């Protein structure tokens, strides 16, 4: 260990100070080592100075571990226990002994190895309900986080981009300087394009002291609750960021794994819950690219320090992803409207195609049922009384859907509009949004026999829709299939068949 006590890792790995006789598992990163022993996890910092972090003295390591304990108790209070001194006296190391403190260690409760969401992602265990609960926890945490400075939003992002460039330059044998320079230039160009928006979001209190390292490897399912832990603790400035930049690490992680549908679900759930961030969706390709860049240079540093060839290969893949995330897409903005009676599968189809459209992390899905709850100022899955479904309320919902669709399209984002669209006026109005912004439009009408629609409605779990069997029967009588302009698709087959038919339609 550079400028540290070389005996500490081997001493901890022996299990003697941790009170265990069984095997101790050692996990190394570029800046820390974790020792898993029994029902505890013990973490020490590497005594390194990487420029953006400096743990080269025992006092610095103590300070940062105390900060890690304090900050992570915001989201995982039951995991983080205490910081202990590692002392040396008479040539022997001890935990909280009477001798001189030569290092410090953070004690945490250990969770099951399969609790990490990155493990669950590998095994296909990230279902929609889990993702919704995770996003809800993130939204609530963000809402309570300390508010940062209300000026300099663009400058804060510029410092991150510059810092990433400096960190990449430290590993020229792993990250080719020409590739790093090209990525830096493109990120700087996007920063200049979005500077006014970034500054406005800081002014609107969307810059806060948040997690800072919110990827799947730092989220565990503990007692059934998605729990973020191991936040960025060593630099308050780096962790005081735009809320969507915090979310972007999770989005990028899912995207990197080929889980575009899951990333799109997370993105839309977050914006559905946090209406104040609706204006910031154009920032996400840049933010996701910056997050991939961080992964690239961190892995490059790890490869350089530990001669880990796998880390070197992964660094190259993340560097390529960072560039791909801000590559122009053939059709960045387009509008797809999915209509049909309740129970035909509109929202299911929207989620299926959302991650395939437009810029990362896919289309903004505007669902009338969700917007109705937002306008009523209730939680998404809270049922409204039937008397809330007036003609006036419905007009307000469709007007809000049209407004948000127009704003997202103008920002260069693809949109999927999910609503019944039972009247010709409602269909004409959403089509007009596409014409007004000059983007391609497709209208899809799903149809299904009434009995099957009622069966699907009865089988729903907690959902934004308040439709009942009675509503389904009324719609059968009151709403006719569009007689032109929209493409009718049968929804009676399996989801794979419906997805394939929708994709063929979109590719025309």
Beta-carbon contacts of residue 464 (< 8 Å; ≥ 6 apart): 347, 367, 369, 370, 372, 373, 380, 381
**pTM confidence score:** 0.93
* Cβ burial 49-71 (10 Å sphere, 16+ → b, else e): ebebbebbebebbbbbbebbbeb
pLDDT band of residue 4 (cuts 50, 70, 90) is low
Instruction: Give the three-class secondary structure for 72.
Output: helix
121 and 101 in a single domain? The answer is no
pLDDT tens-digit readout, 127-170: 999 999 999 999 999 999 999 999 999 999 999 999 999 999 99
Q: Dihedral sign, CA of 118, 124, 130, 132?
A: positive
Q: Which domain, by its residues, includes 35?
A: 8-110
106 and 122 in a single domain? The answer is no
Whether pLDDT at 3 is above 60: no
pLDDT band of residue 493 (cuts 50, 70, 90) is confident
- Asked, for residue 184, whether it belongs to a domain, the answer is yes
Whether pLDDT at 461 is above 70: yes
CA angle 43/45/49 to nearest 5° reads 165
- Answer left, alpha or beta for residue 333, where phi above 0 means left and psi between -120 and 50 means alpha: beta
- Which of 324, 350, 366 delimits the end of a domain? 324
- Asked, for residue 3, whether it belongs to a domain, the answer is no
206 and 303 in a single domain? The answer is yes
| pLDDT score, position 501 | 84
233-250: average pLDDT: 96
145 and 257 in a single domain? The answer is yes
pLDDT band of residue 5 (cuts 50, 70, 90) is low
pLDDT band of residue 84 (cuts 50, 70, 90) is very high
Q: By C-alpha distance, which of 253, 281, 233 is closest to 76?
A: 233
Whether pLDDT at 400 is above 60: yes
| pLDDT score, position 28 | 87
pLDDT band of residue 505 (cuts 50, 70, 90) is confident
Question: How many domains, the chain?
Answer: 3
- Asked, for residue 2, whether it belongs to a domain, the answer is no
147 and 269 in a single domain? The answer is yes
pLDDT band of residue 497 (cuts 50, 70, 90) is confident
pLDDT band of residue 2 (cuts 50, 70, 90) is very low
| pLDDT score, position 18 | 86
161 and 267 in a single domain? The answer is yes
| Residue pair 270/139 in contact by the 8 Å Cβ criterion | yes
pLDDT band of residue 1 (cuts 50, 70, 90) is very low
346 and 432 in a single domain? The answer is yes
d(CA 294, CA 53): 14
Q: What is the CATH number of the domain that holds 127?
A: 3.90.1200.10
pLDDT top residue among 427 and 19: 427
186 and 269 in a single domain? The answer is yes
* Kind and range of the H or E run holding 154: helix 153-169
Average model confidence (pLDDT) across the chain: 94
Q: What is the CATH number of the domain that holds 103?
A: 3.30.200
- Asked, for residue 1, whether it belongs to a domain, the answer is no
- Asked, for residue 264, whether it belongs to a domain, the answer is yes
274 and 172 in a single domain? The answer is yes
Q: What is the CATH number of the domain that holds 448?
A: 3.40.50.300
Whether pLDDT at 100 is above 80: yes
269 and 309 in a single domain? The answer is yes
| pLDDT score, position 337 | 97
Percent of the chain whose predicted confidence (pLDDT) is above 90? 85
pLDDT tens-digit readout, 107-117: 999 999 899 99
361-375: average pLDDT: 98
408 and 290 in a single domain? The answer is no
478-495: average pLDDT: 88
pLDDT band of residue 22 (cuts 50, 70, 90) is confident
320-336: average pLDDT: 95
Whether pLDDT at 262 is above 90: yes
d(CA 95, CA 101): 9
């Amino acid at each position: 260990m550079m400028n540290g006590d070389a005996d500490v890792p081997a001493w901890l790995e022996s299990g003697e100070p941790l009170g265990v006789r069984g095997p101790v598992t050692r996990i190394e990163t570029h800046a820390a080592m974790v020792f898993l022993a029994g029902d505890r996890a013990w973490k020490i910092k590497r005594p390194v100075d990487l420029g953006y972090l400096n743990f080269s003295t025992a006092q610095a390591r103590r300070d940062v571990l105390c900060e890690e304990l304090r900050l992570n108790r915001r989201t995982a209070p039951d995991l983080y226990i205490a910081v202990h001194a590692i002392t040396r006296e008479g040539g022997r190391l001890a935990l909280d002994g009477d001798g001189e403190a030569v290092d410090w260690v953070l004690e945490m409760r250990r969770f099951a190895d399969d609790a990490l969401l990155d493990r669950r992602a590998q095994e296909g265990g990230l279902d929609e309900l889990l993702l919704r609960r995770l996003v809800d926890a993130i939204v609530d945490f963000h809402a309570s986080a300390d508010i940062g400075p209300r000026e300099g939003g663009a400058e804060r992002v510029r410092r991150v981009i510059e810092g990433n460039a400096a960190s990449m330059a430290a590993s020229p044998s792993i990250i080719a300087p020409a590739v790093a320079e090209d990525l830096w230039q493109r990120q700087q160009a996007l920063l200049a394009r979005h500077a006014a928006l970034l500054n406005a979001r800081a002014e609107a209190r969307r810059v806060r002291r948040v997690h800072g390292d919110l990827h799947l490897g730092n989220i565990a399912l503990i007692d059934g609750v998605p729990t973020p832990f191991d936040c960025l603790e060593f630099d308050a400035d780096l962790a005081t960021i735009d809320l969507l930049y915090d979310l972007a690490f999770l989005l990028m992680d899912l995207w990197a794994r080929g889980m575009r549908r899951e990333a799109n679900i997370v993105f839309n759930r977050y914006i559905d819950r946090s209406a104040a961030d609706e204006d910031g969706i154009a920032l996400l390709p840049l933010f996701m690219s910056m997050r991939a860049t961080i992964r690239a240079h961190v892995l490059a540093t790890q490869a350089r320090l530990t001669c880990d060839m796998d880390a070197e290969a992964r660094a190259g893949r993340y560097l390529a992803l960072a560039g791909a995330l801000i590559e122009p897409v053939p059709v960045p903005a387009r509008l797809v409207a999915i209509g049909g009676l309740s129970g035909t599968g509109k929202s299911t189809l929207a989620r299926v195609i959302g991650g395939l459209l437009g810029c990362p992390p896919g289309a903004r899905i505007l669902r009338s049922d969700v917007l109705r709850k937002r306008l009523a100022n209730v939680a998404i899955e809270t049922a409204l009384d039937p008397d809330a479904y007036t003609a006036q309320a419905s007009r307000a919902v469709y007007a809000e859907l049209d407004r948000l669709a127009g704003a997202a399209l103008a920002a260069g984002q693809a949109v999927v509009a999910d609503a019944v669209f039972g009247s010709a006026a409602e269909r004409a109005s959403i089509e007009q949004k596409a014409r007004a912004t000059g983007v391609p439009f497709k209208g899809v009408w799903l149809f299904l026999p009434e009995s099957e629609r009622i069966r699907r409605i009865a089988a729903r779990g907690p959902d934004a829709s308040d439709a009942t069997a009675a509503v389904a029967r009324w719609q059968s009588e009151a709403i006719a299939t569009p007689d032109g302009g929209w493409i009718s698709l049968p929804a009676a087959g399996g989801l794979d068949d419906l997805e394939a038919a929708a994709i063929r339609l979109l590719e025309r």
